[in-house]
Structure 1
Amino acid sequence: MRNVYVGASLAGAVSLMALVAQPVRAELPVPSVNDLQSQSTYFQDGAYAQVNSVSELTDVDPNSWAFQALKTVVERYGCLEGYPSKKYLGTKPLSRYEFAAGLNACLEKINDQINAATSNLATKDDLAALARLQEEFKNELAALRGRVDALEAKTKEIESKLFSTTAKLDGEVIFSVFGQGADSNANIRDGAGNFQGSGGGSNVSFLSRVRLNIRASSLVTKGDQLRIRLNGFAGQSVYFDSLQGRQGQNDYINDANARPGATNGSALVDFDKVYYDTPIGLFGSNNIRLRVGPAIQNLDLIGANKYTANGAQNFSLRNFSRDPLFIQIQDNQHPGAAISVKFSPALNLTLFYSALDGGSAGTVNAAVGSGTAPFGGSGLFGGSTQLAAEIAFKPTPAIDLKLGYSYTSLSSAGSSGGFIFGNAALSGGGDAGLLYNSNNVSNISHSIFSAGLDYDVVPGIAIFGRYTFDTASFYGYSPAGNRGGTSVGGSLDANTWKAGLAFPDLLGKGNLLEFAYLQPINIVNNGVISFVNNASGAAITNPASDPRGYTRVFTQVGNNSTTGLPPARNATESQIGAAFRFRVSDRLTITPEVYFVISPNNVDQQGITIGNLRATFEF
């Protein structure tokens, strides 16, 4: 091909020069090389000027037979020159000197083009070296060819067995041996003074949880995901359990009593997380994400500390992994939506909304205090809901600072459970298990402020912490709808906090040693809560001694009884935890843990010790 290109170029140049050549007389003397060099110098000294297009030559007729030939010489070879007056003077006789100089200029251009086109072509030496390498490595090449053929066959086999071409499956399995106890002579009591159990009567139990995630990506747009999670667990992690206090709730075990067979190793499996997450391309970027679904969860998006967020890998006690106020009041999976906006790598805003009974249509003429949501009192915008916002600020790679606010409304109708602090009662600790009297209280609103910090001080050492403050406001029924007498209204304040120290990658990559001190939910009004008699507007200044106070708000049992008792609070509970996660492989971690509960349920009594040995498999 190269020879054809060169031959065609030479033939074209000679032919085109011949088009404009004029015959000269044979008797002219043959010029010397010096004469030709002089003529070439004459061309270069400006007597002629290079043109870029034939249209620049004013005396060349586009309809002329020679126009195309001149056009090819100019545009293809760039070696045609005209006079400075923009004339070609095509009818002027051509001397042999001029012909030789013009031909030389075109040949130089053609030679440059040939060199440029062939500079990267393989030489004979290159081809010989390649042939030698093929001969030397022919056995290896044959083996590689066989492996590629086998890989293609295996790929086709895998594709034929895929349950979906768009979805991926991943899973997690947890095994753990769990136990807790206190001094054998201790009688552990809840926040109302009720007996929970003897300190020496605890058993050791085997716990397990299995989760399978189906993740389908790029269904509508690049980067989106439809997630479906199947969840099943077996075993009980709570020993000291009563209506107003429980201790030792693991993050990966819920209420085993509500699941048939959950204590004999078998358990029901449900779809506990279903949502669609997608980027929204506004303002020319994908820094906004939307999540919506019938089962989304706040702790996936807000309120997390880096070293305690995952109960399967970090601390397993739920109070350590989930903020009792900001997250746990309404922390299960509910219908809702969330939007995350990434303003920059250092600043992110997340808005979250969920409805506890978002799928409920309500019941017409539901009785007050019946625990049944009336028509219009449930669904996406009625009943118990949470609206939260969190700003995550990362000024340096070592610092994560989060500030959050949550407005959580708990309705006495529906699935709130009758607890002042909602679902946090399932984790227990402090005042989390206090009940309210749903005959007199229609709903409670929690206005919650939270701040969290993760700080990697140096590689291998980090500190973390979180503080949360809550103002809970009680709202009573109107007198006409009040079943238990005059209703009340008022508020109380509560807080919770934790602080910890972590040693990531200790003794190996993926390991983690961590310690934490935690105060669970604690009412900070010192037992004097301001309530108002809604019927008369009179203040109840000392509810501890006025039966219209605590009796109207707190209840001792969970059957909507109007005979309430003040909580027997004479101490502040604290919890201390230590855990070491050892990564055996990329798919297995083993974590021993120990926890000490001091003054459980805010009662001055014997402490509780909790131990757990956990193995987590990932695939």
Structure 2
Amino acid sequence: MTKQFWNVLKVSPAIAATLLASNSAIAAEVNEQQVTSVAQLTKETNSIGQVTSVSQFSDVQPTDWAFQALQSLVERYGCIAGYPNGTFRGNRALTRYEFAAGLNSCLDRVNELIATATADMVNKQDLATLQRLQEEFSAELATLRGRVDALEARTSELEANQFSTTTKLQGEAIFNVSQAFGDKKVGGGDLDSNTVFSDRVRLSLNSSFMGTDQLQTRLEAKNIGSNKDVTGTNTTRLGYDGGEDNSVTVDKLNYAFNLGEKIRVKVDATGAELNENVNVFNPDFRSSGTGALSRYGRFSPIYRQAADGAGITVNVNPDGPFTLSAAYIAQGRNVASDPSEGNGLFDGGNTIFGQLSFKPNQALNVGFAYARTYQRDSVNLFQSTGSDFANKPFGNSRTKSDNFGLQLTFQPSAKITLGGWAGYTMADALTGDTGRDADIWYWGATLGIKDFGREGNTLGLIFGQPPKVTGGSKIASESGTTYHLEGLYKMKISDNILVTPGLLVIFNPENNDNNDTVYVGTLRTTFTF
């Protein structure tokens, strides 16, 4: 609106400024000719704040033609609102609906002043002008009231039929088609494999009682078999496999809350995983449902030092580029709840974990991680990631290990993400021949290219060396080296459907140069709701 427009309508500058200060959140909502939720309207409305002095507006100068009007409205009526960034946006185009909303806002303020016996602050000329404008825009005001009434009715209906006032239901379903193929399987014999069709379904009930906390109860059912059954090596496993014949289990139960402004605490009763609780520096591939297809390609094996147990994780984010994470987890689904000897929260297998991350800017993020792990029974150092020998260098003898990891993410642009990790483990046998120890190394590199071919799609490449025993006392080193190569293409069909075809190539499985290369072709479709 221009100054000439106000002159045509014979509106005082004071009223003009009031209308320019209209509640843009409600006006925009009406202008879109649709009704949204109360939560959305409240969020948008709260983005505009009341001011007490016209000098608070960075874009309003004493030389502006409406400056005196704005100043008068602030001092006399107090019905001027601005934006959080300290601007008034006086030159912004004005719709008739916004005009009506602003008029209604000022009328409410005038009525309030009259009711509190401060009518001397309102002169007759302003009241007469407001009355004329109210009559002129009576139709728009009626439309606005109708929209608000409809919104209230819809909100009441939603509240009456909602599932819960504190809980949200989130789901994920995976349809998986895959087949492993090659000449020979590890250990000898032909690699005989069939094309399989399998699934995994997860339902999460996420409850919040204070707004900043979350109680997660996750149910899971799946029937995705391990490729090791036909290839003879865990290096061909998918990142989301596991088979319980689609029996429903409580996969996770945890509660997270803020302890102050900078500290986040998460307590896991069951299903604790380090990769779910701390940053793993592989944003494009960390998820089992929408990330890498393989088990190894999701993140560094150091984050598999604790799995499927119970414990506590603390993340501290002070001001600055550093973040500190710490965790204690009792390993095994039933270990922490078993009171017998060699089990329980502290007497059974466990992991103490710490990580310091450094993020000097938006492009670079580096993490240094350490984990001290004790495994009493069913030793599996990297949870079946890598060769069998690397996971059990001393068989099932009780084992302790010190694990060191370096991880990083580098984003040279908004569409390209480079990642990688390198890790070293020192493992010692605690039973049997206690003089045995092993040195284990692994590394990996990832590349993610967003919007490749089409907006929303991601091309991914992963290459690395899974865990390998390179030396030690009283044990043999692995002579060969396994290399993991993975290519995948995530295709976003819609906001809720992601289709990911891909191929895994495993060179020298089980760190043995005599083993033939094994391939795994996969087509994963992920539905989220």
TM over 0.5: yes
Q: CA 1:247 to 1:404, structure 2 compared with 1: closer, same or farther past 3 Å? A: closer
Letter in 1 for 2:504: Y
**Equivalent residue number for residue 459 of structure 1:** 414
Is the CA contact (8 Å cut-off) linking 1:249 and 1:428 kept in structure 2? no
State the Cα distance separating 1:391 from its structure 2 match: 0.9
Q: Which residue, 416, 427, 438 being the options, matches 1:492?
A: 438
Partners in 1 of 2:150 and 2:294 — Cα distance?
A: 49
**Equivalent residue number for residue 615 of structure 1:** 525
TM-score (normalizing by structure 1):
0.62
SS in 1 for 2:176: strand
For 1:148-547, what aligned pairs fall within 5 Å after superposition? Answer: 148-182=148-182, 186-189=183-186, 194-195=187-188, 197-199=189-191, 201-217=192-208, 219=209, 221-240=210-229, 245-254=233-242, 256=243, 259=244, 262=245, 267-281=246-260, 286-295=261-270, 296-302=272-278, 303-324=280-301, 326-331=302-307, 333-356=308-331, 357-362=335-340, 375=341, 377-412=342-377, 417-419=378-380, 421=381, 423=383, 425=384, 427-429=385-387, 431-432=389-390, 434=392, 436-438=394-396, 441=397, 443-476=398-431, 487-525=433-471, 529-531=472-474
Percent of aligned pairs with the same amino acid:
25
Q: CA 1:506 to 1:335, structure 2 compared with 1: closer, same or farther past 3 Å? A: same
Cα deviation, 1:44-89, whole Å, max 9, x if unaligned, reads xxxxxxxxxxxxxxxxxxxxxxxxxxxxxxxxxxxxxxxxxxxxxx
Is the CA contact (8 Å cut-off) linking 2:386 and 2:468 kept in structure 1? no
Unaligned runs of 5+ in 2: 1-117
Is the CA contact (8 Å cut-off) linking 1:430 and 1:521 kept in structure 2? no
**Does residue 1:576 correspond to 2:522, yes or no?**
no
Is the CA contact (8 Å cut-off) linking 1:453 and 1:465 kept in structure 2? yes
State the Cα distance separating 1:212 from its structure 2 match: 1.1
Cα deviation, 1:117-155, whole Å, max 9, x if unaligned, reads 1269734244223312224x58xx45x655554443433
State the Cα distance separating 1:418 from its structure 2 match: 3.9
Letter in 2 for 1:128: R
Q: CA 1:118 to 1:179, structure 2 compared with 1: closer, same or farther past 3 Å? A: same
State the Cα distance separating 1:429 from its structure 2 match: 4.1
Is the CA contact (8 Å cut-off) linking 1:205 and 1:237 kept in structure 2? no
Q: CA 1:594 to 1:506, structure 2 compared with 1: closer, same or farther past 3 Å? A: same
Partners in 1 of 2:408 and 2:124 — Cα distance?
A: 59
**Equivalent residue number for residue 68 of structure 1:** none
Cα deviation, 1:69-120, whole Å, max 9, x if unaligned, reads xxxxxxxxxxxxxxxxxxxxxxxxxxxxxxxxxxxxxxxxxxxxx9981269
Is the CA contact (8 Å cut-off) linking 1:392 and 1:401 kept in structure 2? yes
Partners in 2 of 1:121 and 1:178 — Cα distance?
A: 79
Letter in 2 for 1:343: P
Partners in 2 of 1:582 and 1:275 — Cα distance?
A: 32
Q: Give the alignment's Cα RMSD to 1 decimal.
A: 2.6
Q: Which entry has the higher C-alpha Rg, 1 or 2?
A: 1
Q: CA 1:432 to 1:293, structure 2 compared with 1: closer, same or farther past 3 Å? A: same
Partners in 2 of 1:120 and 1:273 — Cα distance?
A: 68
Letter in 1 for 2:190: S
Unaligned runs of 5+ in 1: 1-113, 363-374, 478-486, 532-542, 545-566
Letter in 1 for 2:317: K
Q: CA 1:524 to 1:132, structure 2 compared with 1: closer, same or farther past 3 Å? A: same
- Give the number of equivalent residue pairs: 407
Is the CA contact (8 Å cut-off) linking 1:430 and 1:572 kept in structure 2? no
Cα deviation, 1:515-565, whole Å, max 9, x if unaligned, reads 11111110111xxx314xxxxxxxxxxx55xxxxxxxxxxxxxxxxxxxxx
Q: CA 1:121 to 1:350, structure 2 compared with 1: closer, same or farther past 3 Å? A: farther
**Equivalent residue number for residue 72 of structure 1:** none
SS in 1 for 2:160: helix
Cα deviation, 1:406-433, whole Å, max 9, x if unaligned, reads 0011113xxxx244x252x2x4447445
State the Cα distance separating 1:319 from its structure 2 match: 0.7
Is the CA contact (8 Å cut-off) linking 2:273 and 2:304 kept in structure 1? no
TM-score (normalizing by structure 2):
0.71
Letter in 2 for 1:274: L
SS in 2 for 1:381: helix
Q: CA 1:432 to 1:510, structure 2 compared with 1: closer, same or farther past 3 Å? A: farther
Letter in 2 for 1:339: V
